[in-house]
Structure formats: C-alpha cells, structure tokens
Chains A and B, each alone.
Chain A
Amino acid sequence: MPPGVEIRANIDGHEEPVCCYGCKAVAEFISGAGLGDYYRYRDTTSTRADELPPPDRWSAYDRPELVERLSRAEPAGGRSITVLLEGLRCAACGWLADKALHMESGVLEVGVNPATARARIVWDPAQVRLGDLLRILEHVGLRPHPLAGEPAEQLALQERRSALKRLAVAGLGMMQVMMFAVPLYFGEHSGMDPQIREFLRLVSMLVCIPVALYAGWPFYKGAWAALRARGISMDVPVSLGILLAFTASVVNALRGEGEVYFDSVTMFVFFLSLGRYVEMIARHRAGSVADALARLAPVTARRLKGASVEDVRTVDLEVGDELLVRTGEVFPADGIVSEGDGRVDESMLTGESVAIAKSTGSPVNAGTQNLGAPLRLRVTAVADDTVLSGIVALLERAQAERPRLARAADRAAAWFLRRILVAAAVVFAIWWFVDPSRAFPATLAMLVATCPCALSLATPAALAAATSALARRGVLVAHADALESMAGATTVLWDKTGTLTRGLVRVEETRPIGKVPEAGCLALAIALERMSEHPIAQAFLAAGGAAGTASESAVHPGRGIEGRVDGQLLRIGTLDFVTELAGTANGVVTADEDQSWVYLGSGEGFIAAFRLSDQLRPEAGRCVAELDGLGLRSEIVSGDEPATVARVAARCGIASRHARLRPDSKLTRLRQLQDDGAIVVAVGDGINDAPLLSGAEVGVAMGRGSALAQTSADLILVRDSLDALPEAVRLARRTQRIVRQNLSWAVVYNLTALPLAALGFVPPWLAALGMSFSSIAVVLNAMRLSRRMPAGPTQGWSAASEAGAA
C-alpha cells in the first residue's frame, strides 16, 4: 500500500482498511450483497484489482455469434460455457463466484473448481446476457477468460483422473506388499514354514504385477519416447530400475529361491507417481499455452465493407481489410490506424502499464486492447504473421532448444548413476577374485537393491517436501526439476516492469511553478483527471484526497485534459498541450526524455509539473541484496528507456543493465550468459518475457503476471512479492544438499550392508532392520525441508535455518 494513502471500505457497518480502490469496490459489493461470509471463509489474501478496464469490455460477449462459438447448447436447456478465472486462489473465491452468479436470474448452474481455476456456467440466454455474467465475475475480482478449447480441458481432466487411478493402485499395492514383506524379513530370522514363505512371495508378486505394469506404465512410455528421440530423461533410469528389479523378483519368486524386491518396486512406483501427480496438478493450474492464447486474441472482428459493418471470424481476416475496433475491444490483427485518435493498452504484450497514444498512421498489435475512442484499422498482418504469434513462435523455439526437464534430470541421474556403476564394478571385481560364479548375481542384487531405494526415496521425497514448503511461502512449483538448477544459479535476469517495479504509475513528485502550493496543485490536477480512466489519471486519483470537480471538461486523447475548475480554464497533459493555453514554457522544468512529466497550466501561465513513474517494489532492493549475498548477480533486461532503467537499477543496487531490448534480444542476451557458463534465473511477468522465462534454466513468473508468462515459468510467485525469491534459492540449495546426503547415504549403506550380509557377517534380521531404518532415515532427512518454514515473512529465519542445516 503506498504511503499516505488510506482507503477504507464499509463492511457490515465497520470501516475496514483495504489495499486499493478495486478492493474497496469488491469489499463493498460483497458485504452489500450479503456475501460477507466470504471474509470469514477465505484463506488467502486476494489479488489486487488495480486496474478496472472500461465497463464495455464485456459487451462484445453479448453478440450472438460469439456466444454461439464459445458455448454449447445443454440438453436440459440453456447454454454452457467454461471460463478460466484469473485470480481464483482458494475455495472461498470459488464460493464467491458461485454466489455472485446465482444472484442473477437466468443462471441455471454454476460449477467452480478452485483446483483448476475453471468455472462452468449454464445460463439461459433469454433471461441474462453472457457479457453481464462475465462482468459480475470481474466485479468480484476474478477476471474471466472464456475458453473455446473445450477438448483441451477434457484432455487435462482425463489426465488427472488417470494419474489418480494409477497412484491409488501403486499406493494400495505398496501397502499390501509391505504387509507381506515384513513377515518375510522376520521369517528369515526366526524361521518360517517354507510353504508359507513361498505363498507370501507369490502373493507379493501377484500384487506387484498391476503396480509395475499399470501404475508404472507412464514411466515406460516416457522412457520409450525419450529413447526414440535419441535423448535421455529421468524416465530411462527409472524404467530400467523398475523393470530390472521386477523381472529379477519374478524370476526368483517363480524359482522359489533368491531375493525378491517387490517391496522396493512398489515403493519406487508409488513415490515417483506421487511426485509426478503433485507436479501435474501445479502444471494444470498454471494452464497451457493454448489457454493463454485463447485469452488474448478475440474470436471475431468487425470488418468495414463500404458503409456497412459485418462481423467476421478472426481467421477469415485478410491483409488490407479495414476493421473497426471499439472502445474496450481487443485488436484481432496487426495493423495501422487509418482513422481515429486513441490510446491502447499494450501491457499484455510488453508488460508496460502506461497506455500508448495512437493516431492515424500508428501501428497497433493483435492482442492489445483499445482503451480510447473507436479506431479504424487497416490490417497489415494476420494469424501467424502478427507480433503476438511471433512471440509465441519464439517461445516454442526457446522451449525446444533447451529440453529443460531432461537436462536437469540428467544431471541428478548421471551423478547417481556414475557412483552406482563404479560401486558395481568394484563389487564385481572383488567377487570375481573371491568366487567368479557368484560375481554376477551379487552385482545384480546390489544394483537392484540400491537403485530403486535411493532413486525412489532420496530425490522425490526431498523434492516433494521442498515443493510443499515453498507452496506455504507462496511459491508455486510447476517443474520440480528446476529446483536443482536453482540451487546452482549464478545470475538473475530481471525484466524491470512488474517485477522490480509494481507496474503501476504513481505521482512521484509535484513541483509547483506558480504561487499555488503543492497540495493545491495536486487538488486541481485531480479535479481534472477525475474525468479519465487513463492509468495516469488513476495515479493522480490514488495520490490525493478530496478535490473539486471540473466542469466543461474535455479529454484530448494522447495529449491531456481541459476543464474549468472554480471558473478558471485549466489544462493538464503534455508540454505542448499546456503551452498552447499557458503561453511560453519559460522557467518550466525541461523535460528529460526518460521521465514522464505531466504539466498543469491556466491562461495565466504554468502552475505545476508532476513527475510520474512506475513505483518500485519496496522489497526489490532488499531482495537484490539478499540474492547478491547468496552469490547471484542481478542484471536488468528491459524494453524500457535507458534512463528509466538506470534509475531503477541504481535504486535496487544492480550494476549491469540492458535497456530497449526486444523479446528476441532478451533471449540473445540470455544465450550469451549461458554460453559463458552462467545458470540463469529469469524473473518476468509480461508475454514478452515468456521466451526468456522458458529459455532460462529457471523461469520465475509473478503471480499477477500474464498467463503466458506463468505457463512458461518453473516457479510462480503467487503472493506477488519478491521476498519469496531468495528463500526459494536457499531452500533449493538445502534441497540439493539433502538429495546428495540421501543418495550418498543410500550408496554407502548398500555398499557396506549388502556385501557384509552376503559374506555372512550380518544376520538377516539385522539387515532387514537396517533396510527399513535406511529408508526411514532418508524420508526423515527429506522432511527437514518442510520444517522451519514459518508462515510469515521473517528476516532472522534464514540465517538461523542455514546454520541449523549446515
């Protein structure tokens, strides 16, 4: 909350402080509508609704042909649509959406799923319009994105269900096999009827078959796909481990002699499936690229044909067509403005929140939103040729160039496999001298017993514990493997806007030029700006308190506002615009190109100058310093002007910076760093950052950032605060330490225990106990990651836990 601003909302008769005007509106709506329960049940803080787009954004969805395309007719009457709700974080939000929609008559059915952030709405088009429903959702702070891709949704659902079934089979199978394994272990020691022993081993095999073949199927499929692509993934050693142990056990069980490892196999499959399942849920939440695109490009466009306007599908547009884009609508194609003056919100594309003024001849891009007057547009590029598609293509290339999962997993697996193979060679050599006939079975036994135990427990248990610990700190882990890279990261690349800064414009400085005092200047400015929904106007409104209202006011798009306050004609806006009224600009601050100055003047001369700038996040400097302390060098890569970037860099204490970079040059800079051996963490929030995020070893997206950025990220900072980042690095390092400890422990234990047991130095009951304790030790060690993670942001925590963990 900016200092000096206090906003209160009236909830059930009490004045409660809120963070912004958007929240105030939401809070008063909720309370006023009898939905005060929301505040009793919600369990996370909601996202801020800073910028409310113009009210007519949703009217486009009232058009029948768009409704026809986006929704389906229900057999029971009405039509159904699936929408993705941005900002849906907890069950209370879902409940709120449900209640808010049900207050509208004509809504037949609402199903909100907080796990996937999707809502299915069935409504009666005769009673209520789709646009109104979407507007209601936005009003309660959940920005809806209608999804046209119903099949993709179905596919994701199928994937979740199938994974859950496999997980259940693996879990139940594991428990059963464990139950038979315990008497088998102890039977070795106290003696057991050989008939019962045989029976238990065969029953274990029976239970293990569906676990290994059904529950383990996705691993084999993944491994096969990787091998066919001549690559190697984590699935390869995993499949090898499962199949080796399973086959050896089946052979031994049928032969009636030798060791069986059914317990290891089932445990292996279960813990791996569990890890994959948790990861999949996080990934589905983040959504897919197709989803993200569906939110951007409109489905239909208005084409001008002579004097008449016709609705056409976006895919049918051609270069040279003339389009009409009304206020609040999204541009369907790239083009050049042929008529009209307006301003365009390009934040979806660039992350920069200030709307850009456009007039005849200005280029506009598909996916950006028209905030100003209606514009006529001559299409210059459609479909795959648009800037938006170009960024998506860049993103796909970045993903293809760096098989991130494979590389990170490679390193973990290779590290382990090297040690195991060396150990196996040593064991084999020793046995070769002692008793060549037993060399092969002994080595196989060691490989089989070591691999699954260590791989199944050591890494996944640690990653699962780290993932849940991070989730509690507000960091969503979409790709757990990235934690491995994060631990060794050397460089942090920041996209400035929206990450180091809030992405919100604020009045930084008021400089009176005449005799009017500072507060007076601000009051006049607010009176004028009250007219506008422009982000700059919002900045003024947020900065001040009570003020009058201007009369006879007129908005000049891209220039400023004119109006009469207390009988005096005033202008606020660009230097030229105000000079026309106030005369010469003598003694006025000369505008440095980097800083956005806004001027206020009357017929008698200039009154004031205001410096506007994007607000730095309060924690940005602290975060950079902390990362520096951890050995991570920060660097800014921004599309902004050099001077603005320099100022932000100076205030955060970042030495190296690159300004005016396009998405592809950001990627080039990233490649340079990577070629120099850097392991890069990229932090961004805009669509233009998506290639950067997916190209970096670790991509971090802001919780309020664009959907496409989140899709390409490994970590998502859900709470929209940078404080979690250094902690994530620390936790990643502890995770890596613990994984190595676990693997070393597994190797050392098996290397000592197995030969000793085989040589007859260790009685079987001790070996059984040791085996169990070995596994328990590994799990407990991993659990240390989820301890010592207090819920609130604390400073002293990190030092204490680092000391404790070392």
Chain B
Amino acid sequence: MEILFLLIPLALLLVALGVWAFFWAVGSGQFDDLDSPGWSVLADEDKPDKKKDEGESR
C-alpha cells in the first residue's frame, strides 16, 4: 500500500494541472458563451454570400 504515498500526490498534481488549465480557459473567454459555438458548426455557409469571401471573421 506504500505506493499510495506516491500515487496520491501524483493525482493531486494532475488535479492542480487541471485546475490551472481550466483557469486559463476561463480567462481566455472560452466559457463566456456556451451556446453559439455549438450551433456555428451547423450554420455553415451553404449558399455563398454576395460579399465576404474572406471567410468568417469570428
């Protein structure tokens, strides 16, 4: 069971890493809007526009 003394700190390290990654994601605005990005996949340009051939700007 001594392996626990290694595995548990390792697990905590991973959790800390996860928290850090989440903080980074929140900070960069990835969680500000959880609805529209999902829809944006479906809403692809199927009919070419009159203008804007440089593509989506967002």
Chain A residues closer than 8 Å to B33, beta-carbon distance: 113-116
Q: B35 contacts A165, CB within 8 Å? A: no
Binds B, one of A102-110, A301-309, A343-351: A102-110
Q: Are A91 and B12 in contact (CB under 8 A)?
A: no
The contact of A94 among B23, B35, B52, B57, by CB within 8 Å, is: B35
Measured in the bound complex, the distance between the Cα atoms of B32 and A160 in whole Å is 8
Q: A673 an interface residue at 8 Å Cβ cutoff?
A: no
* A37 part of interface (Cβ distance < 8 Å): yes
Judge whether B18 and A172 touch: CB under 8 Å.
yes
A798 to chain B, nearest CB (A): 31
Complex contact A203–B19 (CB within 8 A): no
Inter-chain contact A207/B22, CB cutoff 8 Å: no
- Cβ-based interface call for A193 (8 A): yes
The smallest C-beta distance from A134 to any residue of chain B, in angstroms, reads: 19
Q: Is A5 in contact with chain B by the CB < 8 A criterion?
A: no
- Main secondary structure on chain A at its contact with chain B? helix
Establish whether residues B47 and A34, one from each chain, have CB atoms under 8 Å apart when the complex forms.
yes
- Quick check: is A655 within 8 A (CB to CB) of the other chain? no
Q: Mark A193-211, 1 if CB is under 8 A from B, else 0.
A: 1001001100100110000
B51 nearest in chain A by CB position? A105
- A95 within 8 Å of B by Cβ? yes
**Interchain CB contact under 8 A, B43 and A165:** no
Decide yes or no: A91 and B39 within 8 Å by CB, A161-B27, A172-B18, A203-B12 being known contacts: yes
Residue picked from A108, A161, A200, most chain B C-beta under 10 Å: A161
For residue A176, CB closer than 8 A to chain B, the reply is yes
Report chain B residues within 8 Å CB of A105. 51-52
- Residues of B within 8 Å of A115, CB to CB, are 32-35
A70 nearest CB across to chain B (Å): 21
Residues of B within 8 A of A111 (CB): 58
Q: Are B38 and A91 in contact (CB under 8 A)?
A: yes
Q: Closest chain B residue to A104 by CB distance?
A: B51
Residue A692 at the B interface, CB < 8 A?
no
Q: Given A94-B36, A108-B57, check contact A168 B1 (CB 8 Å).
A: no
Establish whether residues A112 and B36, one from each chain, have CB atoms under 8 Å apart when the complex forms: yes
Complex contacts, B50 vs chain A, CB 8 Å: 103
In the assembly, what is the distance between CA of A91 and CA of B57, in Å?
A: 18
Bound CA span A95–B23, Å: 28
A-side contacts of B4, CB under 8 Å:
196, 199
* B39 A165 Cβ-Cβ under 8 A: no
Give residues 356-377 of A contacting B (CB, 8 Å). Answer: none
How distant is A33 from chain B, measured CB to nearest CB, in Å?
A: 10
A164 CB within 8 Å of chain B? yes
Say yes or no: B32 contacts A196, CB within 8 Å.
no
A residues in contact with B46, CB < 8 Å: 37
Complex CA gap A37/B40 in Å reads: 12
Task: Please give the number of chain B residues whose Cβ is less than 8 angstroms from any Cβ of chain A in the complex.
Answer: 33
User: Are B52 and A102 within 8 A (Cβ)?
Assistant: yes
Q: Is A41 an interface residue, CB under 8 A from the partner? A: yes
Separation in Å of the A661 CB from the closest CB of chain B?
Answer: 41
Q: For chain B residues 1-27, which have a beta carbon within 8 Å of chain A?
A: 1, 4-5, 8-9, 11-12, 15, 18-19, 22-23, 26-27
Once A37-B43, A113-B33 are accepted as A-B contacts, the answer to whether A168 and B5 lie under 8 Å apart by CB is no
Interface residue? A757 (CB, 8 A): no
Report whether B22 and A113 are in contact in the complex, using a CB–CB cutoff of 8 Å: no
**Is A169 an interface position by the 8 A CB rule?**
yes
| Min distance, Cβ A544 to any Cβ of chain B, angstroms | 38
Contact A114 B42 (CB under 8 A): no
Cβ–Cβ contact A165 & B1, under 8 A: no
Interfacial chain A residues near B9, Cβ < 8 Å: 203
Q: Does A569 contact B (CB under 8 A)?
A: no
**Complex: how many Å from CA A115 to CA B52?**
27
**Shortest Cβ distance from B31 into A: residue:** A164
Q: How far is the CA of A114 from the CA of B38 in the complex (A)?
A: 12
Q: A98-136 toward B: CB 8 Å interface, digit per residue (1/0)?
A: 110011010011111111100000000000000000000
Task: Known A113-B33, A115-B34; judge A95-B19 contact (CB<8 A).
Answer: no
B39 & A41 in contact (Cβ 8 Å cutoff): yes
Q: Closest chain A residue to B46 by CB distance?
A: A37
Question: Which residues of B sit under 8 angstroms from A442, Cβ to Cβ?
Answer: none
The CA-CA distance from A300 to B37 in the complex, in Å, is 37
The answer to whether A165 and B52 have CB atoms under 8 Å apart is no
Q: What A residues does B26 contact at CB under 8 A?
A: 161, 164-165, 168
How far, in angstroms, from A94 to B12 measured CA to CA in the complex? 40
CB of B36 within 8 A of CB of A113, answer: yes
A109 with B8, Cβ < 8 A, contacts A102-B49, A114-B33, A161-B27 known:
no
> Which residues of A sit under 8 angstroms from B1, Cβ to Cβ?
193, 196
Q: Does A90 contact B (CB under 8 A)?
A: yes
- B15 lies within 8 A of A103 (CB): no
Query: Interface 1/0s, chain A 154-172, versus B by CB < 8 A?
Result: 0001001100110011001
Chain A positions within 8 Å of B11 at CB level: 176
A199 touches B19 (CB 8 A): no
Are A165 and B58 in contact, with the CB atoms below 8 A?
A: no
Closest residue of B by beta carbon distance from A112? B36
Alpha-carbon separation in the docked complex, A77 to B32 (Å) = 25
A92 at the interface (CB under 8 A from B): yes
Question: Which residues of chain A from 69 to 102 have any CB-CB distance to chain B below 8 Å in the complex?
Answer: 90-92, 94-95, 98-99, 102
* Distance between Cα atoms of A103 and B45 in the complex (Å): 12
Shortest Cβ gap from A543 to chain B (Å): 39
Q: How far is the CB of B54 from chain A (nearest CB, A)?
A: 11
B24 to chain A, nearest CB (A): 10
Q: How far is the CB of B1 from chain A (nearest CB, A)?
A: 6
A176 to B49 alpha-carbon distance, docked (Å): 51
Contact A109 B36 (CB under 8 A): no
* CB-based contact B31/A161 at 8 Å: yes
**Are A199 and B40 within 8 A (Cβ)?**
no
Task: State A95–B42 Cα separation when bound (angstroms).
Answer: 10
Least CB distance, A504 to chain B, in whole angstroms: 31
Q: Is the CB of A176 within 8 A of B12?
A: yes
Residues of A with C-beta under 8 A to B15: 172, 176, 207
Considering the chains assembled together, what is the distance between the CA atoms of A176 and B12 in angstroms?
A: 8
Return the CB mask of A507-543 against B: 1 if under 8 Å, else 0. 0000000000000000000000000000000000000
Contact of B22 among A114, A165, A199 (CB under 8 A): A165
Minimum-distance CB pairs A-B, first 8: A91-B35, A91-B39, A113-B33, A114-B35, A91-B36, A34-B47, A168-B22, A95-B43
Can you list 27 A-B pairs with a CB-CB distance of less than 8 A?
Answer: A34-B47, A41-B42, A91-B38, A94-B39, A95-B39, A98-B58, A102-B52, A103-B50, A109-B57, A114-B33, A114-B35, A160-B32, A161-B26, A161-B32, A164-B26, A164-B31, A168-B19, A168-B22, A169-B19, A172-B15, A176-B12, A176-B15, A180-B8, A196-B1, A199-B4, A203-B9, A206-B12
